[in-house]
Amino acid sequence: MRRQPWHFKQLVLQFSTLLLMPIVPISLGGCASPAGTDLTSADLHATLEALAAQHHVCGVTIAVIKGRKLDSIDSATGCLPALTLNSDSVFQAASLSKPVFAYEVLKLVEQGRLELDAPVVKYLPRGYRHQFHPLEAEPPLKKTDLVTDPQLQAVTVRMVLNHTSGLPNWASRPLSFDSAPGTKWGYSGEGFVLLQRAVEAVTGEPLDRFMTAQVFKPQAMEHSDYVWSARIAQNLVTGTKANGAPRAPWDFTTPVAAFTLYTSAADYGKFLVTVLNDDHVLKQITASPVSVDPSLDLSWGLSWGIERVQDDLYIWHWGNNPGYRAFVIASVRTGDGFVMLTNSENGLKLAEPITQRLLPDKHKLFGFPMLDGGITEFLCRTLRLCL
């Protein structure tokens, strides 16, 4: 597969950073159901087909969980020519990478190898060297900085996982804090890279090898990895722009805990089942959430968004990479949920109607600004400028 030069990758990373920032005040139309389609009476496959066609999502696969067990896997395509999809079709999971990494962090905490409330730099005796571009395996020193800000000493493992580290989402220049550690919620990919370095130091392994040995192989997640490989490429679905045009391949050969996970719906469904059946981890995730938006009943636990609806809690996350969108949600009380992977920048438009179809409730989380399609989708849809 053709790899893009770094200046292109840098441009796309900058745009993907914008996609993740909650600053776009323009409504992108939400996730409305197709006009004239009664999704409550349609079967799930018909629902997927209708939504994919309505929103021009070229490929979507979902794994449905019922009662903490994998129940079914389905797929649909909304573009011509139709894609051939199955349970092993691989997508970039984008920020759905974070909960998978966090699960193993919590396992290291159980083993006593990490402490939730210890400073992350405790595990980095040589300090933390921040990379301006985390996808560069061996960046020159001029593209890194040794972080000397004393606030770094206050950033704990817990703060990274619940996004209160005070670090920015991404920084392509010397790293500085957006807020004091532990004072407020602020979504941060940089925090996860910091924690990734600590995990690699503690385990003595690069992230991809460690996660394969500890998560993917034990859970028979045969189509998952934090780096691109020929094995992954065999089932990888090409990402598309909001207008359905294919995106040039962007192969992640350097693992980044925040966004480089490749996976299938079947594999991520297995992971979600594991989380829902792990009472100790689930209690850790939900025990002490930090407030994100009280008006939406939204808070953040240990690497999962938490929505409180009457007598239930839902854990959820979304993913947003160029050419791909993803979403996962599950009820803590019933153990029902689903993961959705798409190869479209319109993919998040399917999240709300599928959630209402499978988990009918008053889900205010879809009012969260970071679930908007992002600046690239807006430009493509309104100005036909499909970057």
| DSSP letters for 25-51 | -S---TTPPPTT--TTTS-HHHHHHHH
Q: Domain-by-domain residue ranges, the chain?
A: 6-17+35-383
Cα atoms found within 13 Å of the Cα of residue 75, Cβ hemisphere only: 23
Cβ contacts of 146-152, under 8 Å, gap ≥ 24: 147/175, 149/175, 149/176, 149/177, 151/177, 151/180, 151/181, 152/119, 152/121, 152/128
Q: Are 306 and 363 in contact (CB under 8 A)?
A: no
Res. 16: pLDDT tops 90:
no
Q: What's the pTM?
A: 0.89
pLDDT tens-digit map of 35-77: 444 555 579 999 999 999 999 999 999 999 999 999 999 999 9
Q: Has domain 6-17+35-383 been given CATH number 3.40.710.10?
A: yes
Instruction: Report how far residue 76's alpha carbon sits from residue 89's, in angstroms, rounded to the nearest whole number.
Output: 12
What are the structure tokens assigned to 309, written together? Answer: 């609806």
Share of the chain above pLDDT 90, in %: 82
Q: From the CB of residue 216, how many other CB atoms can be counted at a distance below 10 Å?
A: 22
pLDDT tens-digit map of 160-178: 999 999 999 999 999 999 9
pLDDT tens-digit map of 230-247: 999 999 999 999 989 999
Res. 383: pLDDT tops 80:
no
What are the structure tokens assigned to 155, written together? Answer: 């950033």
pLDDT of residue 23: 32
301 vs 22 pLDDT, higher one: 301
Instruction: Report how far residue 217's alpha carbon sits from residue 224's, in angstroms, rounded to the nearest whole number.
Output: 9
pLDDT tens-digit map of 90-119: 999 999 999 999 999 999 999 999 999 999
Cα atoms found within 13 Å of the Cα of residue 41, Cβ hemisphere only: 3
In 3-state terms, what secondary structure has residue 151? helix
Alpha carbon distances (Å) from 245 to 13, 29, 113, 256, 384: 19, 21, 46, 26, 12
Quick one: pLDDT band at residue 22, thresholds 50, 70, 90? Answer: very low
* Burial (CB count within 10 angstroms: exposed 0-12, middle 13-18, buried 19+), residue 309: middle
Alpha carbon distances (Å) from 31 to 91, 316, 366: 21, 16, 8
Res. 20: pLDDT tops 80:
no
Res. 265: pLDDT tops 80:
yes
